[in-house]
């Protein structure tokens, strides 16, 4: 007899995640990072040696949702001190030299971070806008990841924050979008009939095998999973076309 063991899917604990930005040049990027934190359920933003903390510029990019993150953010002068309370540090880099030893993308590391986040505080480290994290910064990381881009392309630091947090958010909760109602068979049959009438009116149906022609059209449209609203749009288009054919405009 086969015994089935029920397993519980483990999800990331977002409250144990933090964004740490090192040597940030522009306050707009700090604000954008705060907004990303708010969007994806991360409340902790840590700054190390920020060059500019202009409150107006930060708040403008943070928008209303990111303001609470800005208000709680912590600022340090020393990276080691900023990372002292974390159990695991993930560095990010776009440069893939031999000394960097980067072997994973953000998506590949997500399962491990999900497991670690259950009982550990995780810091995602992001570097300066111009040169990123230095080798000295990466020295304090447990691992280093990269975000693949096209050749010679680079991401803005706030864009990198968005991508990393998005991947973690997707691993933290089931995101269910409302599914539209598909058209009923009755609604589809009404649509197919007016399509048939329209095609016959413009002489686009082979006279020798109308059923085979309509079957091809039905099979094509059935693959689109048409909603009730889309069916009404198609019906309206066909009705308007038939009306226009019956009531041609006089030539000027």
User: What is the model's pLDDT at position 209?
Assistant: 80
Q: Do domains 14-170 and 185-246 have the same CATH topology?
A: no
Q: Which residue has the higher pLDDT, 45 or 223?
A: 45
Position 236 confidence tier, pLDDT thresholds 50, 70, 90: very high
Model pLDDT for residues 53-68, shown as the tens digit of each residue: 999 999 999 999 999 9
Confidence band of 3 (pLDDT split at 50, 70, 90): very low
Phi, psi of 40 (to 5 degrees): -115, 20
Average pLDDT over residues 232-242: 92
Tokens of 153: 């392309």
pLDDT at 13 over 90: no
Averaged pLDDT of the chain: 86
Using pLDDT thresholds of 50, 70 and 90, give the confidence band for residue 175: low
Distances (CA, A) of 63 to 17, 42, 52, 74, 184: 21, 16, 18, 19, 43
| DSSP per residue, 135-173 | HHHHTT-SEEEE---STT----HHHHHHHHHHHHHHTTS
CATH, range 185-246: 1.10.8
- Provide the percentage of residues in the chain whose pLDDT is more than 70: 89
Handedness of CA 79, 80, 83, 89 (dihedral sign): positive
Average the pLDDT over 151-166 and give the result.
87
Provide the pLDDT for residue 7.
38
Which CATH architecture describes the domain 14-170?
Answer: 3-Layer(aba) Sandwich (3.40)
- Cα–Cα distances (Å) from 32 to 57, 129, 172, 173, in that order, read 10, 13, 22, 23
> Residue 172: what pLDDT?
76
Q: What is the pLDDT of residues 115-152, one digit of tens each?
A: 888 889 999 999 998 888 888 898 888 888 988 888 76
Tens-place pLDDT, residues 17-46: 999 999 999 999 999 999 999 999 999 999
Which residues, listed in sequence order, are joined to residue 59 by a DSSP beta bridge?
none
- What span, in angstroms and rounded, lies between the C-alpha atoms of 40 and 124? 14
Chain position carrying tokens 């749009």: 233
Q: Where are the domains of the chain?
A: 14-170, 185-246
Q: What is the pLDDT of residues 177-201, one digit of tens each?
A: 566 788 888 998 999 999 999 988 8
**pLDDT at 177 (0 to 100):** 59
pLDDT computed for residue 176 by the predictor: 57
């Amino acid at each position: 007899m086969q015994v089935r063991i029920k397993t519980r899917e483990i999800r990331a604990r977002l409250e144990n995640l933090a964004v740490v930005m090192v040597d940030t040049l522009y306050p707009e990027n700090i604000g954008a990072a705060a907004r990303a934190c708010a969007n994806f359920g991360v409340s902790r933003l840590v700054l190390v040696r920020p060059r500019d903390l202009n409150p107006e510029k930060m708040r403008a990019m943070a928008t209303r949702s990111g303001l609470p993150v800005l208000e709680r953010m912590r600022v340090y002068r020393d990276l080691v001190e900023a990372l002292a309370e974390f159990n695991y540090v993930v560095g990010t880099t776009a440069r893939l030299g031999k000394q960097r030893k980067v072997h994973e993308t953000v998506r590949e590391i997500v399962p491990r971070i999900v497991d670690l986040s259950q009982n550990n505080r995780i810091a995602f480290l992001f570097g300066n806008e111009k040169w990123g994290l230095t080798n000295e910064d990466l020295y304090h990381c447990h691992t280093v990841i990269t975000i693949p881009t096209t050749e010679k392309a680079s991401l803005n630091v706030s864009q990198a924050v968005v991508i990393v947090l998005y991947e973690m958010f997707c691993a933290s909760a089931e995101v269910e979008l409302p599914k539209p109602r598909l058209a009923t068979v009755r609604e589809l049959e009404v649509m197919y009939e007016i399509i048939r009438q329209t095609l016959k009116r413009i002489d686009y149906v082979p006279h020798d095998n109308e059923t085979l022609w309509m079957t091809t059209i039905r099979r094509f449209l059935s693959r689109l999973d048409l909603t009730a609203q889309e069916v009404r749009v198609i019906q309206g288009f066909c009705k308007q076309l038939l009306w226009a054919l019956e009531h041609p405009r006089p030539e000027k």
